Amino acid sequence: MTTSYTNVGQQRILKLLLLLFGHEMNGVTLTDVAKWMDTAPPVALRDLHNLQDAGMAEQIVDTNRWRLTPRLPQKALAMLEAMDRAQQRVTETRNRYSRTPD
């Protein structure tokens, strides 16, 4: 017997995070979020508030639209920098082992 650890609410919030990417400048309306998520506006609002409490989403004061905070994009950039450092180490090691001995 296989146990499913999938939680509908958690899956919805993860989907919401992905939907918010690409809307950092203007944000998205609650109506759009609810429509994209195929859920009721109160459910979408609860999910947005959960992301806000976690520091991952924010409401733009002037427009009431929602967007990601810099937190996740900063983590993505840190990951890319770590990958660059790892690639540099691989390149250095490859160069070291490919030299002709003196």
Give the chain's mean pLDDT. Answer: 93
pLDDT in tens, 62-90: 999 999 999 988 998 999 999 999 999 99
pLDDT the model gives residue 25? 93
Global pTM value: 0.77
CA dihedral 24, 44, 42, 61 (to 10 degrees): -10
Please give the Cα distance from 28 to 60 (Å, whole number): 9
Would you say 20 and 57 are in contact if contact means Cβ atoms under 8 Å apart? yes
CATH 3.40.50.880 fits 9-97, yes or no: no
**Digit-coded pLDDT (tens) for 9-44:** 999 999 999 999 999 999 999 999 999 999 999 999
- C-alpha–C-alpha distance, residues 86 and 62, integer Å: 42
Banded pLDDT at 101 (limits 50, 70, 90): low
Helix (H, G, I), strand (E, B) or coil at 58: strand
